[in-house]
Amino acid sequence: MGKIIGGYIIAVLATYLVGAALISQANLANVAAMGATVDWATRMDAMLHDALHMYEIYLPLVAVSFLIAFTAAALVIRQLPSLRLVGYVLAGFVGLVAIHLLMKAVLGLTGVAPTRTLAGLLGQGCAGALGGYVFHLLTSKGTKAGVADIQADN
């Protein structure tokens, strides 16, 4: 049970950090499209700022979406264990995309501005997929943190 909880926490944090970085870059791309110059220092400052300050809104979205998505994936994976990797990666992708779409449909708001575009929404999905992959690696049975899975792939 500790392996699952630890894997979940690390997957949520990894997704949060990558997702926040993607949000920062998408927002800065919009600023640059308006004619402003955005240098690398500004990009790095924005990513650090967002990573340190979006936790009240964005981190709970990631956590809730993964709780639901990974639970649903686990139910399917019990019946089809050969789909474990695909199941968790897909669950992460769908979970993060779904939470943004549900917020828009139910609450009428877009909690993360870049998800108003397809590219921004897919970027968040990719961050979720990364989290699903991390969860798969860290919770693989019979391995210590999934290291054997990585070595077997090589």
In tens, the pLDDT along 73-84 reads 999 999 999 999
Distance CA 44, CA 133 (A): 25
Torsion angle, alpha carbons of 125, 32, 13, 75, to 10:
-10
Q: Do 137 and 145 touch, CB atoms closer than 8 A? A: yes
**pLDDT score at 142:** 61
| pLDDT tens, position by position, 109-145 | 777 877 888 988 999 999 999 999 999 999 998 655 4
- CA angle 104/107/111 to nearest 5° reads 55
Rounded Cα–Cα distance for residues 29 and 148 (Å):
40
State pLDDT tens for residues 1-12.
Answer: 789 999 999 999
Is residue 101 over pLDDT 80? Answer: yes
26-65, pLDDT tens digit by residue? Answer: 888 888 889 888 899 999 999 999 899 888 889 999 999 9
